[in-house]
Amino acid sequence: MSSLNLDDFTDLIERPDGGVRRDAEARRERLIVPPGSLGRLDDLGEWLAAAQGSVPVRPVERPRVLLFAGDHGVAELGVSARPAGSAELLVRAILEGASPVAVLARRLGVPVRIIDMALDCDPDTLPEEVVRHRVRRGSGRIDIEDALTLEEAEAAFRAGVALADEEADSGTDLVVLGDVSVGGTTAASVLVAALCGTDASVVTGRGGLAIDDLAWMRKCAAIRDALRRARPVLGDQLQLLATVGGADLAALTGFLLQAAVRKLPVVLDGVVVAACALVAQRIAFRAPDWWLAGHGSGEPGQAKALDRMALEPLLEQGVKVGEATGALLALPLVQAAAALAAELPEKPESEEKPESEEKTAE
């Protein structure tokens, strides 16, 4: 029996400040650029103001990329274009600066933090700051066995909570959140299908390396088998993560919830993060108010999850590589919205005549 009371998050998470948002909207009406002419950038600026509790909005100056890493036993079934247990290679590429997210982060000046929750490798082969939160070596094969024990799921969830506190306490003002996994999209698709009440075929995508038709059918079958194991535990979100999730997914869920508690805005990446966000929403319905959907990856499970949470992607570039690459592409858009909202001048007072005065003048 877990000692973790997930219901506490419902009470702890507040919505972004509605009064501040109205003040931001009022200020927007006074700017020299006509309302609506900046499209979604207006909404983004107002959302940031409410999240920060500040008008005008403060610039986003200390963003960070956080990546939760893990291997999933279900990859043994050939559901991924990558070999089972090979997520360590992806982590090494990021650490060496040779991955898409590393290139973009270097260009944008954003630090990247990788957290190993369940990589299938010797922890001594990776830096201590990467492996210090690891819960286990690989997660179980969810079509026939639990991904984690309940104790492991709780440990991973609490690690995610602690990491959200670390980031908030260190002054991080926005997190770009992603995953580094092999088999992770299969586990994520199970969570989305279970929580949305849909069939496996509706949420089964082809992953970052576009698996062929045979692999897609194997993936669909694995999701269908795991769904049968997920449905009996739908009422217990921690047990759900233990049954068909994984250590990285449990940590992502804990991070998302605690980030909302700490009023730390988060940009969501692909289907894995979207699935964890969906679990977090089931725990605390106000939590999605603190998140932005960075991009649409084209994965059906991600689209289903974002639609359920009423989150519209900022970008549609079809980026499927994962590792927060697509979400990081959206960061300059968020920073641009903050700059425009804060730095555009207001109209001169002479141009702000009350409507009654304008009618009199006519």
Cα 65 to Cα 52, 102, 206, 325, distances in angstroms:
19, 10, 25, 10
Cα 231 to Cα 197, 235, 240, 289, 330, distances in angstroms:
9, 9, 9, 27, 35
pLDDT of residue 142 exceeding 70: yes
User: Count of domains in the chain?
Assistant: 2
Question: Among 128-137, 214-223, 267-276, 343-352, whose mean pLDDT is lowest?
Answer: 343-352
**Which of 207, 255, 246, 199 is CA-nearest to residue 227?**
199
What integer pLDDT is reported at residue 211 of this predicted model? Answer: 86
DSSP state, residue 39: T
CB atoms within 10 A of CB 151: 12
Strands (E) across 218-280 are located at 266-268
Averaged pLDDT score across all residues of the chain: 94
Both 141 and 280 in one domain: the answer is: yes
pLDDT of residue 36 exceeding 80: yes
Over range 39-54, report the average pLDDT. Answer: 95
What integer pLDDT is reported at residue 351 of this predicted model? Answer: 57
CATH number of the CATH domain containing 48: 1.10.1610.10
In a domain, 2, yes or no: no
Which sequence positions are flagged as catalytic?
323
Question: Among 124-138, 206-220, 348-362, whose mean pLDDT is lowest?
Answer: 348-362
**Which of 191, 296, 182 is CA-nearest to residue 242?**
191
What integer pLDDT is reported at residue 355 of this predicted model? Answer: 52
State the Cα torsion 124-128-131-132 to the nearest 10°.
120
pLDDT of residue 192 exceeding 80: yes
Question: Which phi and psi (to 5°) does residue 251 adopt?
Answer: -65, -40
Both 288 and 160 in one domain: the answer is: yes
pLDDT tens digit sequence for 158-189 = 999 999 999 999 999 999 999 999 999 999 99
Both 177 and 314 in one domain: the answer is: yes
Both 52 and 73 in one domain: the answer is: no
pLDDT tens digit sequence for 311-354 = 999 999 889 888 999 999 999 999 999 999 999 998 887 655 55
**Which of 152, 183, 156 is CA-nearest to residue 85?**
183
Both 240 and 322 in one domain: the answer is: yes
Both 23 and 145 in one domain: the answer is: no
Half-sphere exposure of 119 (CA within 13 A, CB side): 27
Over range 120-147, report the average pLDDT. Answer: 97
What integer pLDDT is reported at residue 354 of this predicted model? Answer: 52
Host domain of residue 315: 63-332
Q: Which two tokens stand for residue 194?
A: 């279970």
CATH number of the CATH domain containing 287: 3.40.50.10210
- From CA 282, how far away is CA 261, in angstroms rounded? 15
Both 206 and 281 in one domain: the answer is: yes
Both 42 and 135 in one domain: the answer is: no
In a domain, 51, yes or no: yes
Q: Which two tokens stand for residue 151?
A: 């104790």
